[in-house]
Amino acid sequence: MTVATPNTPRRPRRARAVRTAPPLGSLTQAGHREGAACGSCGSERVTQLQMSLTDGTPVRFVSCHVCEERTWQSSAGPLSVDAVLDRTRKQ
């Protein structure tokens, strides 16, 4: 193992890519929600997450606190639970 001393030059660090995070919502503060609503009952009491499935498919997951409906929305449209499970299996 080598130890850096004051006279030992350090390797330059690689620059990290800057990612812009989507704004976070809030379940407790109505003013911070982005107008997400349950597609089944219309309630605004939902948890909404942006995620990428194992196969790289970006989806928006919405879970309703009133009727417990859960949906996954991709750019191609809604995904069934079976489709989500298929896309999350490691190959």
DSSP characters over 2-62: ----TTSPPPPPPPPPP-PPPPP--SS-GGGS-S---TTT--S-EEEEEEE-TTS-EEEEE
pLDDT tens-digit map of 17-26: 676 665 555 5
Give the global pTM. Answer: 0.61
pLDDT of residue 47: 87
Q: In whole numbers, what is the pLDDT of the chain averaged over residues?
A: 81
